[in-house]
Structures are given as C-alpha cells and as structure tokens.
Chains A and B, each alone.
Chain A
Amino acid sequence: MNVLIVEDEKGLALEMDEFLSREGYIVEHAWKKSSAEEKIFVNNYDFILLDLGLPDGDGFEVLKQLKNLKDRDDAVIILTARSAVDDRIKGLDSGADDYLAKPFSLNELLARMHAIIRRKHKLEKNEVKIHDFVLDIQNHTVSFQNERVPLTKKEYEIFNYLVLNKNRVVSRISLTEHVWGDILEVNSDSNFVDVHVKNLRKKLTQCTKTDWFETVRSIGYRINY
C-alpha cells in the first residue's frame, strides 16, 4: 500500500515514514501544498496523511482538489496541531476519512489506518478473526466459538486497539490515550489500563490459551497473530 505524507515538518514526516515503512507501506513525501497537489494528480494513493498548515496554503485546498478528481478512493487522514474547534467537523465534512490531532502516537495513527482499511474493504462482513476469537466491528462484541465473551466497553476497546496494532508493541501511554481519549486530567494516571488489560486477559484465557497475548517488558502489550 502506498502512502503520501503531506507534512512540512520534516522531522515528523521522517518519523512517520520510518514507522510506516517498517509496517510495509510505500511512503512518499510532499512538503508543500503545490507538490502535494501535483503528486495527487499523477498518482493514486491508499492513504494521504494531510497536514493542514502548509507553508504555501491550507491543507483543506489539497483535500478539495482531490475530491474534484474522478474515480479516486484515496483515504485521507487529517493531521493537525491547529486548535480551531470546528476544524474536525470541517475536515470530516469535506470528505476526510479521519482526523488526528497532533501530537498523536504512531500506534494510534496505524490503528486509524487499519480501521479505515477495514471499513473501506468491508472485511468479512465487519468481522475480524484473531486466533479463535471473532471481533464484531459493528456491534463492538467479541465471540469465541460463536459464544459471546462478556467484555466491558473498555476491554473491547483495548482488545480492538491491540488487534489493529497486531504484531506490534503498544505502549501503555498510547493505549491509555486511545481508551480514555482526550479527557485531559483523567488519563494522566495510566496504571488503570493495566487493570483493564488484566481483566481482559483473564476473560480471554477462560476460553482458551492466550500465549499470543504478550506483556512486553515494561513498555506495554502485544498481540501476535
């Protein structure tokens, strides 16, 4: 899959590049609005990661340009540090698939990308298989041999996030941020996520052996598949 990173901060673009390349994506860069528009005109991308504040214009204009092209299915994720409140709404209204506020964790970015892939390709009737478990994306449930595993909302979110990031270590910080979102002061004590992971693992282990559900040293967790 190929990704176009439209981002004038080279440092950030390079980190995303490194991360996504390791995941097997083919990454291209555009530092400016003009070059981004050129590249979009010439090539099809699976993902366009679009910064809004570009040196020669607004990222929204790039998005508009893309939407004017026919037969294009490029998924657009807006990445921005701009704090305008209505940017998110404006972004999603103008056809972006997702919106990620800077600073974001690269795991979160990857999870969002995977979620878009799931959505776009309607993978197996909204079901994701992981070992003997099946995640129902639509209803936010997990089942084992057609038997529903009684997970809480938070446990499901953690499981889903780890599955989206399968074979990668997901740090506690990233996990906490994902589960509690942008509740500012509340997500600062990250130990709570361990309690939820512990409960989640207990529930999964009651069904079958889960040695693929790893605790990675002090960093966080990983689901191998």
Chain B
Amino acid sequence: MKLQAKFALYNAITKIAVILVLGAIILLSLETISSHHLDGRLTKKRLKVIENLSDNEIDSLLRNQHSFTDYNILKDEFIVLNAIPNVGKIDTSITFITERREIEGDTEIYRILNDQFEYNNKRYKLELGEAMTAMEAVKTTIRFYMLIVLIGTLLVTLLTDYAFTNFILRPFYKIIDQKLNKVNDPTSYNYENIPTNTTDFKILDNSINSLMRKIADLFLLEKQFIANVSHELLTPISILSGRLENILAAENLPVEHENKILASLKTLNRLKVIINSLLLISKVENEQYLKKDQVSIHQELLDIYEDLEDRIIDKQIIYKNEIAANFSFTGNRALIHTLLINIINNAIKYNVNKGAITIHDELTLTKYTLTIADSGMGMEKEIVANAFNRFERENSDNEDGFGLGLAIVNSIAKFHQINISIQSEKEKGTIVTIEFPIN
C-alpha cells in the first residue's frame, strides 16, 4: 500500500472514531438529561396528587373500585391509582422506570413513576406516566444526522487527505521514481535536486545524490582499473608471444626446444584467454557495452551453427533447431552471440558421441523463452548450483576451457536482464532455459 493511501486511511479512521465517540456521548447525555427532566416533572405531579388527596377524592377516584386510571386526550400522560392489600412492610421509596405501555390500543414508551403510600390505613399504589415519544424522535433524528455527517465527513476527509498527501508527497515519489527506480547505471544519473520545501525529502534527495556520487566514483575507478589491468597484463603477454614466435621462426631450432616453445605459446594463449574472459566479465559488469542492436536470435543461432558445425559433425551430434518465432532482442549483438555460443558449445563439449541437441522456443506476451537441451553427461546438483561461479567446471578429463564460460554467460545475462536457469541430470543431459524479457 502506498504511503499516501495509508495516510488518507489513517485520517479517515481517526475521524470516524472521533465522530462516533462524540455521537455516543451526545446520545447518552441527551437521554440522561431528558430522563432527569421528566423525573423532576413526575415528582412534582406526585406531590400535587398526594397533597390534594382527601377521603372524598380517593373515594371519587376509586369509586369503590380497586383501580383508577386516567389519561389525557393525546395519551401522553396517565395516572393509575390502585388500592393494594395491607400486607407486609410498605415500600415508600419512589422509583422510575422506562417502559412500553398500551393505552387503548396505542403503544408508546413512557417514563413511569412508581410510588406506594398509606392513607387512612389503606395502602395505595400510584403510577404516573409521561410519554417519551418526543424524546425518541429527537434521538432518531440526531442519529440520522450523525450518520449523514459521518458519511459526508468520511468522503470529504478521504478526498482532501488524499489530495493533500498527494501534494505533500509528490516530491518524495518523484525522488523514488527518478533517483531510484529509473536508474540503471551511475553514468546516466541526474544529480539535479527535486524541488521541495519538506526538509526530510531534501535530506533524502541529497543522501541519494551523495551515495550515487560515491558509486559513480567507484564505477569510474573500476573502469580505469580495468583499462590499467588490460594494459599492464596484456602488454607483457604481447612481448612474450612475439619473442616466442621469433624464436620459432629460426630454422636451426632443435625439435625438443621447438616443442617447449610451442607449449609456452599455448600456455601464454591460455593466459590471454583467461585475462580476456575476466576483463570481459568486468567490462560487462562495469556496463561498458551499449545495448542498442536489434539482435535476431534466429540469425545468431544460424551463425553459431556455422561456427560450431565442425564440432557437431565431429561428435556426430543430431542438432535440431526448432525455432518457430522470429524474435528480435534489443541488446549488444556481440555479447548475445557470446552468451549463446558458450551455452551451445557447452552442449556440444559435454555431450556424448551421437548425442542430440534440441533448441526450442516459446513466445509469450512478456517473454521469449529459449531452451537448449542436450543429451550429454549432465551434472550433479551441487555443480549446477555453482555453475555460474568463476573457475567452476565439471571435473573431467577434458582440459579445454577454463571454467569461465558460464560466468561470462551469467554476467551478460544480468546485463541484459535475461533470466537463465539450468536443469541437469547426471548421465541424462542438461537443459538450459534462457528467458529474454519483452518490454
């Protein structure tokens, strides 16, 4: 969830809570106040009734009946007087209750005063009621308006909060987007500050900038280092190989020396390949290559087949290219070529005689998947896990290669956001899956 949405949500929830609590307090106090008020009125009426009480009145009220009931036209007040038997102790306390009563078919809520008193050695029970309907109506209205206010506030708050946080946080999202998300390498980084007057964002912006400067410095330093290493290592190799070639050209060289010099040239060549491989990896990781070529995978595979045809024929390998899609990838042609040729060369090198290599593809909306399957000797699980590390290689009698092929493949793949996975089973073969992203 975005920070902005979280802020808006939090504000909405707190406001709802405040309104609910406020509403509850208002309703409760309203009820207390109105009950109190009614109770006061009922007490006064009782006094009036009891003060004016006389034999005649009681008689006229009860008319020798046990009970007397009266109410006004609108039925919002009533009085009930009952004679009760003289049993036990009389309870003279006044109690109030809120109850639903039916008077001539109309049911309403009343606040009722209960009292018992003695008059001329006779006990009576008095009930005075006053309707609370008006009160209930007020409460319902308040509840209704509260709901409306609640919903209204909720909507308004959500909108205004969202808009406000959006305004406040805009520089923050701009920083995230321009300074973090869109940055792939420090060389194409824009150091211009994002305009904002929020101190925290200024600090964030400046921190990212200074971090980026450090990374850019390191990046440049690495570039220089690579250039220096190339020069300092490759020049001596160049001298040595020239010297050995000149010695080899001498006509009167004894055969045993000739062989030693040849072996030295081979070793030197090996040194050169290793240095160049490591430099290639470093240069790819240092992003020294452009990714602007339209590389047709189909065409690259045809070229690679031509390059490796001799090896395929030599091992009598059945090579099946089942590519169906005509997919082009934007990247560095030379690097993609290197990536593919290394994988296919491995499929040949670690294959068995009369084995097979099958290349298959699949194009979806988001990616282009190339699978290169061989029927070779396969690898153990631990070896697969380490296959992309430098100088890792399958222990075999085959001393060609220096275990850098897959490390090169790995760095090229990362550089192009290509996903590579290896599935392998000992003695059965290896399947390399290459996923080219489509953007």
Using CB atoms and an 8 Å cutoff, list the residues of chain A in contact with chain B.
Answer: 9, 11-12, 15-16, 18-19, 22, 53, 81-85, 101-107, 153-154, 168-169, 171, 173-174, 177, 180, 182-190, 192, 195-196, 217-219
Check if A186 sits within 8 Å of B341, measured CB to CB.
Answer: yes
Q: B396-431: contact bitstring with A at CB < 8 Å (1 yes, 0 no)?
A: 000011101100100000000000000000000000
- Cβ-defined partner of A84 (8 Å) among B269, B288, B290, B408: B288
B342, A173: Cβ atoms under 8 Å? Answer: no
Tell me, yes or no, whether B137 is within 8 Å of chain A by CB.
no
Cα–Cα, bound, A153→B309 (Å) = 11
Chain A: minimal CB distance from B348 (Å): 10
> Among the listed A101, A168, A184, which residue makes an inter-chain contact with B404, where contact means beta carbons less than 8 Å apart?
A184
Contact between A82 and B231 (Cβ–Cβ < 8 Å)? yes
Residue in B231, B246, B345, B401 whose beta carbon sits within 8 Å of that of A81 in the complex: B231
CA separation between A217 and B255, bound complex, in Å? Answer: 8
A192, B400: Cα distance in complex, Å: 12
| Residues from chain A with Cβ under 8 Å of B238 in the complex | 9, 12, 81, 102-104
Residues of chain A contacted by B290 (CB below 8 angstroms): 85
Contact pick for A173, options B226, B269, B306, CB 8 Å? B269
Chain B 268-285 residues near chain A, CB threshold 8 A: 268-270, 272-273, 276-277, 279-280, 283
Of B227, B270, B405, which is within 8 A of A82 by CB? B227
15 contacts between A and B (CB under 8 A): A12-B238, A82-B227, A82-B230, A83-B279, A85-B288, A103-B238, A103-B241, A106-B242, A169-B248, A169-B249, A174-B245, A184-B273, A184-B338, A187-B273, A192-B314
Q: Which of A186, A188, A195, A218 contacts B262 (CB 8 A)?
A: A218
Q: What is the bound-complex CA distance between A12 and B402, given in angstroms?
A: 27
Residues of the B chain whose Cβ atoms lie less than 8 Å from the Cβ of A9: 235, 238-239
Which one, A18, A171, A187, contacts B246 given CB within 8 A?
A18
The chain A residue sitting closest to B311, CB to CB, is A192
Complex partner residue of A12 from B239, B266, B268, B289, CB under 8 angstroms: B239
Contacting residues, chain B, for A177 (C-beta < 8 A): 269
Q: B307 touching A180 by the CB < 8 A rule?
A: yes
Contact of A11 with B243 at beta-carbon distance under 8 Å, contacts A180-B307, A185-B401 already known: yes
Chain A contacts of B231 at CB under 8 A? 53, 81-82
The residues of A that contact B222 with a CB separation of less than 8 Å are none
Q: A15-B246, A103-B241, A180-B307 are in contact. Are A83 and B262 (CB under 8 A)?
A: no
A186 near B307: Cβ-Cβ < 8 Å:
yes
Q: Which residues of B contact A187 (CB under 8 A)?
A: 273
CB of B308 within 8 A of chain A? yes
Q: Assess whether A103 is in contact with B404, with CB atoms less than 8 Å apart.
A: no
Asked if B310 and A192 sit within 8 Å, CB to CB, the answer is yes
Q: For residue B401, which residues in chain A have a CB less than 8 angstroms away from its CB?
A: 185, 188-189
Give A82 to B232 CA distance when docked, in angstroms: 9
Known: A15-B245, A185-B408. 17 other contacts (CB 8 A): A9-B238, A11-B243, A15-B242, A82-B227, A85-B289, A103-B238, A106-B241, A106-B242, A153-B306, A168-B249, A182-B276, A183-B341, A184-B277, A185-B273, A185-B405, A188-B270, A192-B314
Contact at B265–A188, with CB atoms within 8 Å?
no
A195 to B309 CA separation, bound complex (whole angstroms)? 12
Knowing A184-B276, A185-B408, A218-B258 are in contact, say whether A81-B402 is a contact too (CB < 8 A): no
**A217 vs B256: C-alpha distance in the bound complex, in angstroms?**
11
What is the distance, in angstroms, from B289's C-beta to the closest C-beta of chain A? 6
Measured in the bound complex, the distance between the Cα atoms of B243 and A169 in whole Å is 15
Tell which of B226, B241, B262, B311 touches A219, judged by Cβ atoms closer than 8 Å. B262
Q: Which of A11, A83, A182, A196 contacts B310 (CB 8 A)?
A: A196
Q: Which residues of A lie under 8 Å from residue B227 when comparing CB positions?
A: 82-84
Contact A19 B255 (CB under 8 A): no
Closest to A11 in B: B239
Bound complex: CA A196 to CA B310 (Å): 8
Shortest CB distance B220–A (Å): 13
Given A153-B306, A185-B408, A196-B310, A12-B255 contact (CB < 8 Å): no
Tell me, rounded to whole Å, the shortest Cβ–Cβ distance linking B247 to chain A: 10
Q: B61 near A: Cβ within 8 Å? A: no
- Choose from A101, A174, A189, A217 the contact partner of B258 (Cβ within 8 Å): A217
Within the complex, the shortest CB–CB distance from B336 to chain A, in Å, comes to 13
- How distant is A107 from chain B, measured CB to nearest CB, in Å? 7
How close is A220's CB to chain B, nearest CB, in angstroms? 9
* A15–B238 alpha-carbon span in the complex (Å): 10
B residues less than 8 Å from A104 (CB atoms): 238, 241
Contact B243 A15 (CB under 8 A): yes
How many whole Å from B115's CB to the nearest CB in chain A?
106
| Distance, CA A22 to CA B250, complexed state (A) | 11
Is B235 touching A102 in the complex (CB atoms < 8 A)?
Answer: yes
Closest to A53 in B: B231
Chain A residues with CB under 8 Å of B109's CB are none
Which residues of B211-236 have CB atoms within 8 Å of chain A's CB atoms?
226-227, 230-231, 234-235
Question: CB-nearest residue of chain B relative to A103?
Answer: B238
- Sorted nearest first, the 6 A-B pairs with minimum C-beta distance are A15-B242, A103-B238, A83-B230, A81-B234, A11-B239, A189-B400
B300 to chain A, nearest CB (A): 13
Q: What residues of chain A lie closer than 8 Å to B405, measured between beta carbons?
A: 184-185
Q: How far does the alpha carbon of A93 sit from the alpha carbon of B402 in the complex, in Å?
A: 35
What residues of A have a CB within 8 angstroms of the CB of B16 in the complex?
A: none
Nearest residue, chain B, Cβ from A182: B276
Judge whether B242 and A185 touch: CB under 8 Å.
Answer: no
Residue on A nearest B255 in the bound complex, by CB:
A217
Given A184-B273, A218-B262, are A106 and B245 neighbors across the interface (CB < 8 Å)?
yes
Beta-carbon contacts of B248-268 to A below 8 Å, as 1s and 0s? 110000010011001001101
**Within the complex, what minimum Cβ distance (angstroms) separates A186 from chain B?**
5
Contacts of B27 in A (CB 8 A): none
Chain B residue numbers with a CB within 8 Å of A106 are 241-242, 245-246
Bound Cα distance from A114 to B404, whole angstroms:
35
Q: Does B237 contact A (CB under 8 A)?
A: yes
B288 x A105 contact (CB < 8 A): no
Q: How far is the CB of B330 from chain A (nearest CB, A)?
A: 17
